[in-house]
Amino acid sequence: MLLAVGIASEVQFVGGEVGYEVLVESAVREQALHHLWMYEQERQVRPVPVDDSQPPLSGGWRGSLAYVALLLFVPFVFAQGWLSGYPFESGVMNPARIRDGEWWRAVTALTLHWDAAHLVGNLIGGALLGLSAAQVWGSARAWLLIAAAAVAANLAEGLLGLSNYVSAGASTAVFAALGLVAAHAWRTRGQRQIEPLRRWAPLIAGIAVLGMFGAGAQDPEAPAADPTNVLSHLLGFLAGATCGVLVATQRGARMLAGIPAWLAAVITPAAVLLAWTLALRAGA
């Protein structure tokens, strides 16, 4: 240490309780003692880790409740016969129809399910993951991100040119929420420069959950092959992860925060209403 500050020194073994002593020129003795004291002080100071993470926001259950209500409301309306037409004919995800201009299917398909088990699974998964996202961005903005990612994933799937294939269900939104939360946690932890294992843990866990629950077979009532359903889940996860990375940046976070909560809360149900209006009008 003394050599680093330009002070010549020599270490000499003297034995006894002292053990070793440091020899310097008498002219620089006080300066050497000062530098040694400062070095000892620096060794004793331990940096306190700073946790600049945002505390969880409250009230996230409201968004999950609205999600559950919306997914239950659509089949209830059709079951009561309040609207004419067959919803699966005009609302499922059909890539060929989307390429023909029926973009609203990317929205309406999220609200249709093949059976009760399919619906319940997506209700539980979406409500839990949506609650997790709402603790970061608040209910309105979190569900706006999830919905935007899910619709983007469905549109991307529609443009892939798949043949003889239709799909339905909110599982795309469920995996979009998974990717959103996992990627955002990964990026924000990386910005805090914590240990690599802790930084990558959210993304690794998200991919593991995708592999465990996203690789299931296509519902037998849907006419597509198994890999297509896996593709839907994968696209949802990737779209959500992309959104998570974007809103982890300062610019993305500012843009999202600039959307009023009331507007974010209105956009998704308004988009669903518009999409179903167009779907029923086209199927009439």
SS3 category, 113: coil
Residue that is written with structure tokens 């420069």 in the block = 193
Angstrom distance (rounded) from CA 69 to CA 79: 15
Cα-based distances in Å from 144 to 1, 2, 16, 263: 57, 60, 74, 10
Give the bridge partners for 15, in sequence order. 19
Q: Set out the domains of the chain in order of their start, with CATH numbers.
A: 3-44 (no CATH), 61-283 (1.20.1540.10)
SS3 category, 10: strand
Residue that is written with structure tokens 């849907």 in the block = 222
pLDDT digits (tens), the chain, 284 positions: 677 777 787 777 666 665 677 777 887 788 877 777 777 777 665 544 444 456 778 888 999 999 999 999 988 988 888 777 678 888 998 888 999 899 999 999 999 998 888 899 999 999 999 999 999 999 999 999 999 999 999 999 888 877 777 888 899 999 999 999 999 988 887 665 566 667 778 788 888 888 777 665 444 444 443 344 788 899 999 999 999 999 999 999 999 999 999 999 999 999 999 999 999 888 66
| One-letter identity of residue 174 | V
